[in-house]
Amino acid sequence: MEINAQHALGKSGMAELNYAFNPYLGCFHGCRYCYAIDMSPNETANDWGNIVYVRNNIIPLLQREARTYRKGIVGISTITDPYQAAEMKYRIIPQAIEILAKNGFYITLQTKSPLILKDIEILKKYKKNLDAGITVTALDKRISNLLEPHAPDPYKRLQALKKLKDNEINSWLYLGPIVHGVNDDIEGISKIIEFCGKNEIRIIYDSYQDFKGTIPYMSNTHYIKTDDLWWNGMVASIKVLCRENNVICTLEKDEWEYEANERYKTLF
């Protein structure tokens, strides 16, 4: 469904970002745990994964705002996936990357889809202006399908991430959300960390938290609510595995500090 937007760039609530650029409202991947359910129109939130709004005037708006807004860091698709099925038709993301990069903005993308590789040439062209992350919740397809009913195969995501890395694009893996009693098997997590170690890819990770909109969608996964004892144990285990595999691991809540430190280093 096509709609008009009033703005292309919105103020981001994430500490590591200045702006958010969301060309789509809703997401065809239908991930049950997604906090964006609470930030989406009622029609998409109530039928999550099946209805997506396309903000079809967003590129002209971005062209104007990129020339006039203060430069900063833009998160592309913070409440949706930039490379869901609709992007195959509308191809908004490569245009947005070009506009933002040419106007001096830094771009960060996160996706669950190997469709990102369709834009590998533009990602290479502007690799000094961006980074790209791919989310993997579990390599076990049964678990992945339970949490992310329509998202692409997790192994294809890893292959896409490796190709990004091989093309010298600043890339990372988002491990999560880790859901108590669902995808918190340490053996499965260790395989993901081992992959990142072999390919020199850093990891950002986090636990699942209930949101009002996620609870009805998560109810049949038989998950256990996050608690400090369980999560502290998970963090300790992940840190050990990352250390053993020479992987940089950052908790999502500390990501802003990691990014700030990395950019600070480049100034001297």
Positive or negative torsion for Cα 95, 99, 104, 105 = negative
**Residue bearing tokens 């998950």:** 223
In the predicted model, what is the mean pLDDT of residues 27-39?
Answer: 97
- Count the domains in the chain: 1
Cβ burial 100-135 (10 Å sphere, 16+ → b, else e)? bbebebbbbbbbbbbbbbbbeebbeebbebbbbbbb
How does strand 24-25 pair with strand 53-55? antiparallel
| Residue span of the structural domain in which 116 resides | 2-265
Provide the CB-side half-sphere exposure for 40 (13 A, CA): 34
Positive or negative torsion for Cα 136, 142, 148, 154 = positive
CA distances from 245 to 59, 144, 160, 191 (A): 42, 24, 21, 11
Does the pLDDT of residue 260 top 90, yes or no? no
Least confident of 20-29, 72-81, 83-92, 251-260: 251-260
Predicted TM-score (pTM) of the model is: 0.93
CATH of the domain at 240: 3.20.20.70
Tens of pLDDT, residues 167-220: 999 999 999 999 999 999 999 999 999 999 999 999 999 999 999 999 999 999
CA distance 17 to 24: 19
